[in-house]
Structure 1
Amino acid sequence: MNERIFRVLEFQKIIEQLIKHAATSIGKDYASKLRPVSNIDDVVRLQDETDEAAQILRLNKTIPFGGITDIRMSLKRSTIGGVLSPEECLNVADTIYGGRQVKSFIQNLEENVPILKGFVERITPLKELERKIKNCIDDHGQMMDSASQALRSIRTSIRTFESRVREKLEGYTRTNSKMLSDVIVTIRNDRYVLPVKQEYRGSIGGIVHDQSSSGQTLFMEPKAVVDLNNQLQAAYSKEKQEIDRILKELSAKIAEHNEFLSENVSVLAEMDFINARALLGSHMKAAKPKMNNKGVIKMKQARHPLISMDEVVANDVEIGDTYTTIVITGPNTGGKTVTLKMVGLCTLMAQAGLQVPALDGCELAVFKDVFADIGDEQSIEQNLSTFSSHMTNIVEIIKHVDRDSLVLFDELGSGTDPGEGAALAMSILDEVIARDARVIATTHYPELKAYGYNRDNVINASVEFNVETLQPTYRLLIGVPGRSNAFEISRRLGLNEEIINRAKGLIGVDSKSVENMIASLEKSQLSAEKDYEKAHEILLESEQLRDQLNREWNQFQSKREKLFKRAEEKAEKAIKQAQEEAEIIVKEIRNMKSNVELKEHEWIEAKKMLEDATPNLTTKKPKSKTVSNESKELQPGDEIKLLTVNQKGEVLDKVSENEYLVQVGIMKVKVKRNDLQFLGKPKQTYEKPIATIKGNNYHVKTELDLRGERYEDALLKLEKYIDDSLLAGYPRVSIIHGKGTGALRKGVQEFVKSHPGIANSRPGSSGEGGSGVTVIEFK
C-alpha cells in the first residue's frame, strides 16, 4: 500500500494514540510500525486477536505486563561475548518473571481465547536463570554479598579496613581538632582524608589529595593511614574483579538461553501490541468489523476516529453491494471531506487489525490499495497550480487502480473551467468505475448531480444543510443529491426578494428541474425517515407488550402449578394420615391374634386394597402420544391393571390371541385383552436369580431386595413381605438391604425384633451377601 495514503488520511495520528495504550517499550515499538495488510486471512486473524483481548477487557480484567523491558540489545551483546551490567541482568530476570506472570494469567482464563493461549504456549519460564540472577543482584541493581563466597570474604575485609582507617582518623579529630577546618572524616580520590588548615600542613604530615577553593583547607591523608588506605584500595580492586567475574558468568548464562529469551520478548511484545489495539478500540467505543474480499462496506453510525465523540456526527455508509460509487454533493464545510476520510481511515484501521468506531455488525472490505486525492496539495516547489497538483495525483492513481482498490476523490475536477472540469470529472469517474473499483467522490458541479441517475453502479448522496439556521448538520443522505440553497440562504440573510426572483429567471430550465427534483427527494427522504422512526417506536412498544404478556403468562402458570402442588400435598397428607390410622388398627388386630381367631389372608387383602386405593399424585404433564390400550401386546411379567375390579396385577402367560392369564393378589384368572391396562415393565431388583418356593399354593419369592428404596417405602414393603411370607408358610427368608450408611439395615433389624411372627434373625454369611443381608426365621 502506498505511503502517501497514510499521510493524506492522517494514519500516523492513529498510531500515536495506539502507542499511548502500549504498556511496555517493546509493545510501543511494535505499535509504531503498525501497517495495514492486504491478505484477508491475515486481516481476519488480526481482528480475532484484537477481539480476544477486548473480551478480556470487557470482563474488567487486565493482562499483567509489569516488569517487562526491552532486553533485545542486552541479549545481542551477551551473544557476542559482552559483559552485561547488573541493571541489564536484573532487567533480564524481571522480563522472565513478567513473561511467566502473563503466561499464568492467560492460561487460567476461563474465557475462550485460543489465539492468546497459543501465544503464551511459546513462553519458556526459565525459572532457574531468573533465580540465579536474583540470588546475585538485589532489586536496586546492586551485587549482593551472597553472589559468591569470595565476594562475601572480600567485603568483610573491606569493612574491617574501613573501620580501622576511620578509627585512626577519628583519633586525629579528637587530639588535633584545632588543626582541622572541620572535625570530620571525608573521602577524596576514594581515600579517607582529613580537612587540615593550611598552616598545620607540616604538623599533620602525609599526602595532600585536594584543597578547598579558597586554598585555606587541604584534604590530607596522614602517614599513619597510608598503608591502611592502600590495603583498602587493594580490597576494592579485588571486589571489582570478583563482581566482573560474576557478571561475566551471568552474561554467559543469559547468552546460553538467548533463543528462548528472544522468543519470550517477541511473544510479550506481540501480546502488548494486541492488548494496545483492544484498549484503543475500547477508548473509541469501537466494534469488531466483519471482513470480506468482495469490496462491500456497510457501517452503521460510523464516526471519524480522530474527531471527539462529543463533536462528531455519526453516519451510515454503504457501498459495494448494489452500487460501487457514491457521488457526494453539498455546501462547503458540510462534512463531505470528513466522510471521505472516515471511510478511508476506517478501512486502513480494519486492515491493520484495529476495531472501527461504528455499531456492532459493521462490515468492511479488504483492499489491495487505498488511493486518495484530498485537499489542496499544490506543490510550490514544483510550481504547480491547484488543478495541476490534483491531476498529477489522479494520473498516478489511474495507473494503479483496479477492482481491489478504494478510491477517494475530493472536489474532483475543481480548479479549472467549470464546464471542462465537470466533463473531466465524469470521464475520470467512468474510467475508474469501469475498472470495478470502489469510489467515493465529492463535487460542487451541478452536472454531476444527475450523474448518478445515468449510471447503474452510481448513487448520489449529499450532506444536509439547515436553511433555517444556515448551518450544516453534517448528516449524510444517501440517494439524495445536494442542492445549492443559494436563493434560500440569500433570502434568510435579507437580500431583496426582487433580486432573488430576477436571478431565478436567469437560470436555465434544466437547472430549475434538477433543483425541484432534489427538493422533492429531500422531502421524500425526510418523510420516509419520520415514518421509519414512528414504525420503530411501534415495534419497540409491541416488543415491550409481548415481553409483558410473556411475564404475566409465566407468572400465571407458576401460580397455577403452586396451587395444584399445594392441593396434592394436602390430599397426600390426608391419605398418609389415614394410612397411619389404618396401620395402627392392623397392629392392634395382630396383637389380638392370640385371643381372637383371625384369618391372615383377610387382613393382608384388606391392607393391599388400602394401598391400591392411594392415588398416584404427580405434577408431571401427560405425554402427548400414548399407545392404544388395545394395540399393545402384553408379555409375561408386564404390570397391568384389571379394569373390572380396579386392581393391579402381573401377566403370567398369553392364552390366546386376545386372552391372557394374569395374577391379581392371590387369584389367577384368564382375562380378555380389552379388560387389561398396560402399566409398564417390571422393575429389575436383583441381578442374582432368585429361587421361588411354592408353599400353601401361594407364590412368594424367598428374598426381598430393598436397595434403592426410600426408608419409609422400604419398611412398608418389608411389612407386607413378612405377612405374605407367613401366609406362604416359609421357614426362613432373606432381606437384601445393602451396606450403605447402615440406616436401612438398622431399620430392618428393629422391625424384625418387634414382629411377633419372627423367631430369630441373623446377618447373612459370606456366601449369602454378608452384612448387606438379614436372614429371618419364622416361628
Structure 2
Amino acid sequence: MNSKIIKTLEFEKIRTQLASFAASELGKQRLLRLEPQKTLKDVQDLQDETDDGRKVYRLKGGIPIPKLTDISMSLKRLQIGGSLNGKEISQIGRVLSTTKEVIQFFEALHEQEVEFYRLYAIVDQLIDLPDIRKTIALSIADDGDILSDASSELKRIRQSIRSTETNVREKLDGFIRGKKSQYLSDSIVTIRNDRFVIPVKQEHRNVFGGVVHDQSSTGQTLFIEPQAVLELNNKLRSLKAQERREEERILYELSALLAPHVDEITENSYLLTELDVINAKAAYGNSIDATRPHLNERNHIAVWGARHPLIDREQVVSNDLIIGEEYQAIIITGPNTGGKTIVLKTLGLIQLMGQSGLQIPAKENSQIGIFTEIFADIGDEQSIEQNLSTFSSHMSNIVSILDQIDDKSLVLFDEVGSGTDPQEGASLAVSILDYVGTKGSYVVATTHYPELKVYAYNRPATINASMEFDSHTLAPTYRLMIGIPGRSNAFDISRRLGLPEQVIQQAAGFIKEDSQELNEMIADLEQKRRRTELESHQLKQQIAESEALLRDLRKASEQLEEDQTTVMERAKKEANKIVETSREEAELLMQEIREMQMNLGKSAGVKEHELIDLRKQFDELRQEESLLTKNKVLRKEKEKKQLKVGDEVLTETYGQRGTLLEKTAKGEWVVQIGIMKLKLPESDLRKIEEEPDKQVRRAKRQIANLRSSTDSHVSTQLDLRGFRYEDAIMELDSYLDAALLAGYPQVTIVHGKGTGAIRQGVVEALKKHPQVKSFAFAPANAGGNGATVAVFKG
C-alpha cells in the first residue's frame, strides 16, 4: 500500500505505540515496518493470530517472552567459521532457554484444552536443543562472563589465582601494618600494570626494593612492586595468561558446538519474534479496548462506535461508519472544527489497522473491507519548494489519485475542490466524484459547497451526511449523522450572540430562494431525525423492559425446575431409606431362620407354618411406591447412567441385553451378548437399572430357597456356568445361605473360566460374606481356576 497514506493518516504513530509493547529488538523492528495486507486470507490469518494473542493475554497475561537481542550477526559469524564472545553466546543461550519455556507454556495450555487458531502451529515449529542449552547455561553467565564450571582446568586455574592473590595481599598488608608503614604515602594496596603495588614516598623508594610501575601526578608518590612479592606477581600474571587461553578455548568449543545448528537457532529466533509481535498486538488491543472486526471481501464497511485510536478515550466521540452496501459515496457537510476531518481519518486508520492484523477501536460485530489501496487528500499539502498554491497542491495530489484508483480502492477527500472560486470549485468537485464513481471506488468526501448536498441527494449510490451542531450551546457535538446534509448555522449563532433581528432578516433576504428552501429542508430533516431518535429511545426502553421481564420469567422457571429437582432428590433419599430399612429387617429374619435351624439340629426341618409366618412378615416390609418415585424411574430413563464392569445393559443398535466386561482406552465398552463379544461406544449403551425394591424381592427369593433347602437335599457344589452375571451372583447368595443351614463346612462353586466376569463376581461376593472363613481355586484335578472352594467359619 502506498507510503503516503501511512503518513497522511498517522499510521506510523500507531506502529510506534505498537513497538513499545514488544519485548525483543527484532519484534520492535517488525512492528515499526508493519504493513496492511491486501488479500482476505492474509488478513484473516493475521486477525486469527491477534485473536489468539488476546486469548493468551486474558488467560495468562501474555506469552512469556523476555527481552531478546538481535542475534542475526552472531549467527552469520558462526556460518563463516568465526568464534563468538561470551556475551554473544549468552544471547543465543537466552533464545534457546526462551524456546524451551515457550514450548512448556503452550504444552500446559494444550493440556487445559485451550483452543487457538494458529499459535499451536507456530509453536510446533520451535526446536528445542536441550544439550546445547544446558551446556551454555553451565558455561556462560547471563552477562557473558565464563563460569568456572565451564571446565575443570578453568576451575583449577581460578582457584590458583585466588590463592596467589591472597598470598600477595597478605605480604603487602604486612608492609602496610608493619614497621615500614611510615615510608608509605597511604595505607592501601592497589594495582598498576596488572600487578599489585603499594604507594611509597618518593624519598624512600629504596626501602622496599622491587620495581616502580607508576608515580603520582606530583611525583611525590611512587607505586612500587616490592621485591618480596615479585615472584608471586609473576606467578599471578602467568596464571591469568593461562586463564585467558582456557577461556578462549572454551568459547571456541562452544562456537563450534553452535555452528551446526545455525539454521535451527535462526528459525527459533524468527518464530519467537513472530510470537512477540502477536503478543504486542494483543497487549496494544487490550490497551485501547479493541475488538476483532469481521472481514467483508465485497468491501461493505459497518464499524459501530468507531473511535480514533490516537485521541484520548475520555475525550473522543465515537461514530458509526457505514459505506459499501447501500451506497458507495458519502458527502459530509458541516461547519469547520465540527470533526469532519477526524471522521475521514478514523475510517481510513481503522481500515489500515484491520488489514494489518490489528483489532480495531470499535464495538463488537464491526465489519471492515479488504482494499488494495487507500488514498487520501487531507490537510494543507502546499509545497513551498515547488512554489505551488494550496489549490495546486491539492489538485496535483488528486490527479495522482485518479490515475491509480480502481474498484478495490477507498478514497478520502477533505474539502474537495476547495482553494479556488466557489462556483468552479463545486463544479470540479462534482466532476471528480463522478469520475471516482465510474471507477467503482468507494469515496468519502467533506465539503462546504451546498451544491454537493443536492448532488448527493440526486446521485445513485451516494448519500449525504453531516456533523451535528448544537445551536443551543453554539458548539459541535462531533457526532456523524448519515442521511442528513449539514446546514449553515450562521443565522442561529448570530441571533444568539445578539445580532439585531433586522440585520439577520435582511441577510436572509440576500440568500437565493433555492438555498433557503434547501436549508429549510435540512432543518425539517433534523426535526424528523430528533423525533425518530426519541421514538427509537422509547422503543429501546420498551425492549429493555421486555428483556427484563423475559429474564425474570426464565429465572422463575429455573427456580421452579430447581425446586422440582429438590423434591425429587428428597423422594430418592426417602426411597433409599425405606429399602435400606427393609434390607436390615430382612437380614434379621434370615438370622432368626438360621438360629431356629441350628437349635432344631441338622436333621430337623423348619415347620411350614413358621416359614409362612416369616414370609408374611417379610411381605409386610414392601412399601407402596409413591407417584414421585414412579416419576423418578421415568426420569431416570432420560438421564445418563454411570456404567461399570458387570452391569447389565441394553444396546440401542442391536436391541439386545448384554453384560459389560471391560472399558477400552478409547472409551468404548466390551459387551458380552450371548456368545459374542462386541466393542460399542458408551452412547449406544443404556444401563438396566435395578428397581428400588429388587433387594427386597431378592431377599424373598432367598427365603423361598431356604424353605426348599429344609425340605430337600442341598448339594455341596453350585454350578453357575451359563448364568448371566446378575443372576449368578443372586444364585450364589441363596446357595451360601442354604449351605450354611445345611451345616456344610465347605462348598465348591463352579464358575468356569470364560471371560472371568462371573469368577471375579464370585471372588468379590465371598470376600464380603460374613460367614466365609477362606476361599481358593479348586485343585487342578477338580477344575483348577474354573471353580472356587469356600470354607465356612466353625
* TM-score (ref. length: structure 2): 0.80
- Determine helix, strand or coil for the equivalent of 1:18: helix
How much does 1:132 deviate?
1.4
Assess, with a 3 A threshold, how the Cα gap between structure 1 residues 775 and 427 changes in structure 2: closer, same or farther: same
Indicate the larger mover: 199-208 or 159-168.
159-168
**Structure 1, unpaired ranges of 5+:** 626-679, 691-705
How much does 1:247 deviate?
1.0
- Indicate if the aligned counterparts of 2:605 and 2:711 stay in contact, CA closer than 8 A: no
Deviations 1:726-766 (A, max 9, x none): 599575484869999x99999768744665x7777613146
How much does 1:158 deviate?
2.8
- Indicate if the aligned counterparts of 2:291 and 2:361 stay in contact, CA closer than 8 A: yes
User: In 2, distance between residues paired with 1:293 and 1:73?
Assistant: 41
Assess, with a 3 A threshold, how the Cα gap between structure 1 residues 599 and 199 changes in structure 2: closer, same or farther: closer
How much does 1:113 deviate?
1.5
Assess, with a 3 A threshold, how the Cα gap between structure 1 residues 93 and 430 changes in structure 2: closer, same or farther: same
Q: 1:24 maps to what in 2?
A: 24
Q: 1:369 maps to what in 2?
A: 373
Q: 1:117 maps to what in 2?
A: 120
Q: 2:384 maps to what in 1?
A: 380
User: In 2, distance between residues paired with 1:574 and 1:95?
Assistant: 69
User: In 2, distance between residues paired with 1:42 and 1:277?
Assistant: 16
User: In 2, distance between residues paired with 1:434 and 1:745?
Assistant: 92
Indicate the larger mover: 354-363 or 175-184.
175-184
Q: 2:155 maps to what in 1?
A: 152
User: In 2, distance between residues paired with 1:572 and 1:51?
Assistant: 52
Q: 2:77 maps to what in 1?
A: 77
Deviations 1:181-222 (A, max 9, x none): 123322111112221111112444332211112211011223
User: In 2, distance between residues paired with 1:294 and 1:557?
Assistant: 48
User: Are 1:8 and 2:8 an aligned pair?
Assistant: yes
Q: 1:552 maps to what in 2?
A: 556
Would you say how many aligned residue pairs link Structure 1 and Structure 2? 705
Q: 1:701 maps to what in 2?
A: none
Q: 1:640 maps to what in 2?
A: none
- Indicate if the aligned counterparts of 1:299 and 1:358 stay in contact, CA closer than 8 A: yes
- Indicate if the aligned counterparts of 1:604 and 1:723 stay in contact, CA closer than 8 A: no
Q: 1:35 maps to what in 2?
A: 35
User: Are 1:722 and 2:722 an aligned pair?
Assistant: no
Q: 1:764 maps to what in 2?
A: 749
Deviations 1:593-613 (A, max 9, x none): 989964799779978987999
User: In 1, distance between residues paired with 2:262 and 2:657?
Assistant: 73
| 1:479-494 paired onto structure 2 within 5 Å | 479-494=483-498
Assess, with a 3 A threshold, how the Cα gap between structure 1 residues 727 and 618 changes in structure 2: closer, same or farther: farther
Deviations 1:654-681 (A, max 9, x none): xxxxxxxxxxxxxxxxxxxxxxxxxx99
Q: 1:649 maps to what in 2?
A: none
- Determine helix, strand or coil for the equivalent of 2:463: strand
User: In 1, distance between residues paired with 2:124 and 2:752?
Assistant: 57
Deviations 1:112-140 (A, max 9, x none): 01411111111111121122122222344
User: In 1, distance between residues paired with 2:208 and 2:145?
Assistant: 38
User: In 2, distance between residues paired with 1:132 and 1:775?
Assistant: 65
Paired amino acid for 2:47: Q
- Indicate if the aligned counterparts of 1:181 and 1:195 stay in contact, CA closer than 8 A: yes
User: In 2, distance between residues paired with 1:685 and 1:201?
Assistant: 103
**Structure 2, unpaired ranges of 5+:** 638-654, 662-671, 676-688, 764-786
How much does 1:556 deviate?
2.9
- Indicate if the aligned counterparts of 2:719 and 2:750 stay in contact, CA closer than 8 A: no
Deviations 1:558-582 (A, max 9, x none): 4345446656876887798799889
User: In 1, distance between residues paired with 2:691 and 2:624?
Assistant: 22
- Indicate if the aligned counterparts of 1:465 and 1:471 stay in contact, CA closer than 8 A: yes
How much does 1:721 deviate?
4.9
How much does 1:290 deviate?
0.9
User: In 2, distance between residues paired with 1:707 and 1:622?
Assistant: 13
The correspondence for 1:439, drawn from 439, 443, 446, is: 443
How much does 1:508 deviate?
1.2
User: Are 1:169 and 2:154 an aligned pair?
Assistant: no
The correspondence for 1:211, drawn from 212, 215, 227, is: 215
Assess, with a 3 A threshold, how the Cα gap between structure 1 residues 588 and 184 changes in structure 2: closer, same or farther: closer
- Determine helix, strand or coil for the equivalent of 1:151: helix
- Determine helix, strand or coil for the equivalent of 2:403: helix
- Determine helix, strand or coil for the equivalent of 2:64: coil
- Indicate if the aligned counterparts of 2:659 and 2:725 stay in contact, CA closer than 8 A: no
- Indicate if the aligned counterparts of 1:463 and 1:475 stay in contact, CA closer than 8 A: yes
Assess, with a 3 A threshold, how the Cα gap between structure 1 residues 233 and 710 changes in structure 2: closer, same or farther: farther
User: Are 1:295 and 2:285 an aligned pair?
Assistant: no
User: In 1, distance between residues paired with 2:74 and 2:571?
Assistant: 81
- Indicate if the aligned counterparts of 1:707 and 1:738 stay in contact, CA closer than 8 A: no
Assess, with a 3 A threshold, how the Cα gap between structure 1 residues 563 and 185 changes in structure 2: closer, same or farther: closer
Indicate the larger mover: 582-591 or 319-328.
582-591
- Indicate if the aligned counterparts of 1:50 and 1:274 stay in contact, CA closer than 8 A: yes
For the aligned residues, what is the CA RMSD? 3.8
Assess, with a 3 A threshold, how the Cα gap between structure 1 residues 249 and 417 changes in structure 2: closer, same or farther: same
Paired amino acid for 1:763: T
User: In 1, distance between residues paired with 2:451 and 2:142?
Assistant: 74
- Indicate if the aligned counterparts of 2:209 and 2:227 stay in contact, CA closer than 8 A: yes
User: In 2, distance between residues paired with 1:372 and 1:688?
Assistant: 77
| 1:697-716 paired onto structure 2 within 5 Å | 712-713=695-696, 715-716=698-699
Deviations 1:324-347 (A, max 9, x none): 111000011111000000000000
User: In 1, distance between residues paired with 2:168 and 2:88?
Assistant: 35
Deviations 1:685-729 (A, max 9, x none): 998999xxxxxxxxxxxxxxx999999457515415515755995
Assess, with a 3 A threshold, how the Cα gap between structure 1 residues 714 and 18 changes in structure 2: closer, same or farther: farther
User: Are 1:417 and 2:429 an aligned pair?
Assistant: no
Q: 1:659 maps to what in 2?
A: none
Paired amino acid for 2:98: G
User: In 1, distance between residues paired with 2:206 and 2:37?
Assistant: 81
| 1:565-576 paired onto structure 2 within 5 Å | 566=570
- Bigger Rg, structure 1 or 2: 1
User: In 2, distance between residues paired with 1:171 and 1:464?
Assistant: 91
Paired amino acid for 1:51: D
User: In 2, distance between residues paired with 1:221 and 1:570?
Assistant: 101
- Determine helix, strand or coil for the equivalent of 2:346: helix
Q: 2:783 maps to what in 1?
A: none
Paired amino acid for 2:447: T
How much does 1:235 deviate?
2.3
* TM-score (ref. length: structure 1): 0.82
- Determine helix, strand or coil for the equivalent of 2:468: strand
Q: 1:357 maps to what in 2?
A: 361
- Indicate if the aligned counterparts of 2:579 and 2:692 stay in contact, CA closer than 8 A: no
How much does 1:280 deviate?
0.6
- Indicate if the aligned counterparts of 1:761 and 1:774 stay in contact, CA closer than 8 A: no
Paired amino acid for 1:353: G
User: In 2, distance between residues paired with 1:97 and 1:583?
Assistant: 68
- Indicate if the aligned counterparts of 2:18 and 2:281 stay in contact, CA closer than 8 A: yes
How much does 1:145 deviate?
2.5
User: In 1, distance between residues paired with 2:583 and 2:36?
Assistant: 82
- Indicate if the aligned counterparts of 2:718 and 2:750 stay in contact, CA closer than 8 A: no
- Determine helix, strand or coil for the equivalent of 1:59: helix
Indicate the larger mover: 604-613 or 399-408.
604-613
- Determine helix, strand or coil for the equivalent of 1:108: helix
- Indicate if the aligned counterparts of 2:49 and 2:117 stay in contact, CA closer than 8 A: no
- Indicate if the aligned counterparts of 1:752 and 1:761 stay in contact, CA closer than 8 A: no
Q: 1:524 maps to what in 2?
A: 528
Paired amino acid for 1:334: G
